[in-house]
Amino acid sequence: MAFSSSRNLPLVPLLLNVYIVLCAAGNFNQDFQITWGDGRAKILDNANLLTLSLDKASGSGFQSKNEYLFGKIDMQLKLVPGNSAGTVTAYYMSSKGSTWDEIDFEFLGNLSGDPYIVHTNVFTHSRGNREQQFYLWFDPTADFHTYSILWNPQRIVFSVDGTPIREYKNLESIGVPFPKSQPMRIYSSLWNADDWATRGGLIKTDWSKAPFTASYRNFNANACVWNAGKSSCNSNSPSSAASGSNAWLSQELDSTAQKRLNWVQKNYMIYNYCTDMKRFTQGLPVECTHS
């Protein structure tokens, strides 16, 4: 499948009815620390650019200095260009411990000219198995694009350039766990997964193309920072969630955003766990049959 320009995005106004960027783009030295890679991860351009690299010896990664309990997280990524088969660029939020929560973007590389697969998942209490996968409507290696996670007490929304591609709702009322009590850091890594990442492992990493490099810029976190057991958000003022810097705490998809979400899922979704009857032979997960 080649990248198509025939399915242009419809011209519509802002997608998420209360989202306004209120924070300046972050400084990578202030906001993140490189955690592994032995020099393969670099902070450049006056701390406005971060790059991760992968070669046959090792990949690399970084994590946020802050932990967050709910937030609107934006990062611009330019993915590994050319033949990226076998590589995975992971960008996600995760808590620690034996029963962790996690919100995942993973970008599965492919042969030159083939589209990347955007893999999403949500873990609660160390249980995932909620995968949805998508192609993109553009080449994510040609330029930077914004990948966003909205995480509030009611929902998780994955977005690309402001277009929602997936919504995972809080359905605790019907017994579905939802990540809401464990603070998470932001992580990213570039690593070799050619045993499964590209066509189920059929296409291996071509190390003659190494090093593989992914680039990051314009990080923004409009979020509740968790520190010493306390949140930076004012829990004593619920009205603040309706306006100002905490508007995202009650943000939901308006009708326009819902149409865009439906458009993406109709045209670019390639896997949805909620339709995988072969996998869930005893019945689909309960959230899949609840509108």
CA 240 from chain centre, in angstroms, equals 26
Q: How far apart are CA 106 and CA 197, in angstroms?
A: 10
Nearest to 62 by CA among 217, 148, 189: 189
Residue 106 known to be catalytic: yes
Structure tokens at 107: 């970008």
Catalytic residue from among 102, 167, 172, 287: 102
Q: How far apart are CA 182 and CA 190, in angstroms?
A: 25
Catalytic residue from among 106, 167, 172, 252: 106
Neighbours of 281 (CB within 10 A): 7
Structure tokens at 67: 């932990």
Residue 167 known to be catalytic: no
Q: How far apart are CA 27 and CA 233, in angstroms?
A: 22
Count Cβ neighbours within 10 Å for each residue of 50-72 and write b for 16 or more, e otherwise: bbbbbeeeebbbbbbebbbbbbb
**Collapsing DSSP states into helix, strand and coil, what is residue 199?**
helix
Structure tokens at 122: 């949500």
Q: How far apart are CA 284 and CA 277, in angstroms?
A: 7
Residue 100 sits at the vertex; the CA angle it makes with 99 and 104, to the nearest 5 degrees, is 145
Containing 73, the helix (H) or strand (E) segment is: strand 67-78
- The residues that are catalytic are 102, 106
